[in-house]
Amino acid sequence: MKTTLSIIIIISALALTSCEKPKSETAAAAPAVSVEPYFTASAPANPSPIHLLRQSTKPGDTITLTGKILGREKPFVDDRAAFILGDASALKPCNEIPGDECSTPWDVCCETAEDKLANTATIQLVDAEGRVLKQGLKGVQGLKELSEVTLVGTVAPSSSPEALIVNATAIHVAR
């Protein structure tokens, strides 16, 4: 009888401990921060084009900029709240070039690599710890390739003259 009772207790203890999730799984299952609060119904006032901001901003500056989602064949980062914003006054998507039948006009393949670099910015939504949110942005609030966007954000600490990175705080998608 004692042996049977001991076996039942051991099996029960093993069953209970095996149901616990490891700490790494519990942390990963934490609820995601929603990206919806970052979007605004009206456009922020007095935006600047990217090419002008790149000449005068430094990490920590709050800026307002405007552009279109363009500059790469895949301007959205999969499963992350980040995308490439291009300066629509400096880069011309292929669909604006008469006779061009490009299937991905937002990649601005007719522009030079130097022009793309000088006229694009990486836009990201970050949490309180500065980590990019784990949610894709394509389709949110109608956001897609070639969407016109105006936003307010802070130049990220990792930004440099070669790579403008902006932590957006308010994004408006033109309809």
pLDDT at 4: 41
In a domain, 40, yes or no: yes
Mean pLDDT confidence for 42-59: 94
Question: Is residue 1 assigned to a domain?
Answer: no
Beta carbons of 35 and 81 less than 8 angstroms apart:
yes
Q: Is the pLDDT of residue 5 over 80?
A: no
Query: Residue 76 in 3-state DSSP?
Result: strand
4 within a domain of the structure (yes/no) = no
Does some domain include residue 84? yes
Task: Find all residues with CB under 8 Å of 151, minimum gap 6, and list them.
Answer: 44, 47, 64, 65, 66, 85, 123, 166, 168, 169, 170, 171, 172
Pairing of strands 82-86, 48-49: unpaired
Mean pLDDT, range 75-99, rounded to an integer: 95
In this prediction the pTM is 0.81
Q: Count of alpha carbons within 13 Å of 23, Cβ hemisphere only?
A: 0
Q: Would 12 be classed as within a structural domain? A: no
**pLDDT classification of 31: cutoffs 50, 70, 90:** low
User: 7 falls in which pLDDT band (50, 70, 90)?
Assistant: very low
With 60 as the cut, is the pLDDT of residue 144 above it? yes
CATH number for 131: 2.40.50.200
Domain residues for the domain of 59 are 35-173
Report pLDDT for 116. Answer: 95
What would the two tokens of residue 110 be? 């007719």
Assess whether pLDDT exceeds 80 at residue 46.
Answer: yes
What total number of domains does the chain contain?
1
Q: Answer yes or no: is pLDDT of 12 > 90.
A: no
The mean pLDDT value for 9-20 works out to 40
Average pLDDT over residues 130-155: 97
- Domain annotation covers residue 80: yes
